[in-house]
């Protein structure tokens, strides 16, 4: 797939690494082109662009900025008509220990309102950056899951295919409204990792009997 990643921080770096390893064609961008170039230089099939040139012919955009920056970062790419936007954000408070919005909306739904011509998918927000960068394999032959919520079926299937290409199991979590559940799930993961001291090599999964 052709994929644009916005953001060169913890999550953007993990995506660049894993998407490159899976053979995808990746364009990275950020506020600082030197950071994007430094990231691109580390991996095959990853190129750095200024925001206005970053979309190219990518079919998927991963928005890996803070929630507060996501709308403006997406808009800086230009015309997103028909693009699949994968929203990985969590609307965290300054101390990371609570969410700033929820119950009656979600980061994903608010981001979708800001780019109505795109198809927004909630995914990957329940994975710590260290887990994303390290890949889907856990102890005892367990494999991690990516929860995927979207209203547009093509966009959802694209995000599922992308996650599976990186080796993750996927859970179809329904419509984008269910980001209202996935963002608090990430909040619980952050509490368990940092607040309860379990560390950041953990991730939620859903089991079948
Ligand atoms: N870290 C995790 O474990 C984790 C896990 C799941 C989900 N998430 C979510 O993933 C998102 C990214 O987290 P992170 O830890 O990767 O954050 P981060 O390390 O702070 O990286 C954020 C990136 O966004 C860039 N950015 C900010 N505004 C921008 C704009 N207008 N245009 C382009 N790029 C812009 C920043 O650029 P500068 O370098 O110039 O500041 C930086 O490269 C957050 O929403 C977070 O809630 C994080």
In a domain, residue 173? The reply is yes
Q: The domain spanning residue 139 has which CATH number?
A: 3.40.50.720
Task: Identify whether 139 is part of a domain.
Answer: yes
**128 Cβ inside 6 Å of ligand 1:** yes
Beta strands of the chain (E only): which ranges? 2-6, 25-29, 46-48, 60-63, 84-87, 119-122, 145-150, 169-172
pLDDT in tens, 24-42: 999 999 999 999 999 999 9
Answer whether 31 contacts ligand 1 (Cβ < 6 A). yes
**Residue 205 domain-assigned (yes or no):** no
Q: What is the mean pLDDT of residues 169-174?
A: 98
In a domain, 94, yes or no: yes
CA pair distance 51, 150, nearest whole angstrom: 25
In a domain, 156, yes or no: yes
What domain range is 15 assigned to? 2-195
Separation of 157 CA from ligand 1 center, angstroms? 25
**In a domain? residue 44:** yes
As for how many domains the chain has, the answer is: 1
Of all residues in the chain, what percent carry a pLDDT higher than 70? 100
Q: Return d(Cα 209, Cα 198) in angstroms, integer.
A: 26
Q: What is the pTM of this model?
A: 0.98
Write out pLDDT tens, residues 114-163: 999 999 999 999 999 999 999 999 999 999 999 999 999 999 999 999 99
Whether 209 is covered by a domain: the verdict is no
- Distance (Å, rounded) from C-alpha 11 to C-alpha 63? 9
Dihedral class, residue 56 (left if φ above 0, else alpha if ψ from -120 to 50, else beta): left
Token duo for residue 64 = 């890996």
User: 147 in ligand 1 pocket by Cβ < 6 Å?
Assistant: no
134 C-alpha vs ligand 1 centroid, how far in Å? 18
**pLDDT range class, residue 48, cuts 50, 70, 90:** very high
């Amino acid at each position: 797939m052709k994929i644009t990643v916005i953001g060169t921080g913890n999550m953007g770096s993990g995506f660049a690494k894993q998407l490159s390893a899976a053979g995808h064609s990746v364009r990275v961008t950020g506020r600082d082109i030197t950071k994007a170039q430094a990231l691109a230089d580390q991996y095959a099939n990853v190129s750095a662009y200024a925001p206005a040139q970053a979309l190219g012919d990518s079919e998927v955009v991963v928005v890996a900025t803070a929630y507060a920056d996501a709308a403006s970062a997406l808009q800086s790419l230009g015309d997103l008509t028909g693009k699949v936007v994968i929203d990985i954000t969590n609307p965290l408070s300054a101390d990371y220990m609570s969410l700033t919005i929820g119950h009656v909306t979600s980061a994903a739904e608010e981001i979708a309102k800001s780019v109505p011509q795109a198809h927004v998918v909630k995914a990957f927000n329940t994975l710590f950056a260290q887990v994303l960068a390290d890949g889907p394999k856990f102890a005892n032959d367990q494999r991690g899951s990516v929860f995927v919520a979207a209203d547009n079926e093509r966009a959802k299937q694209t995000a599922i295919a992308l996650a599976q290409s990186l080796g993750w199991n996927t859970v179809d979590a329904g419509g984008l409204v269910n980001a209202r559940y996935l963002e608090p799930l990430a909040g619980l993961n952050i509490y368990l990792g940092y607040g309860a001291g379990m560390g950041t090599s953990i991730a939620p999964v859903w089991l079948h009997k």
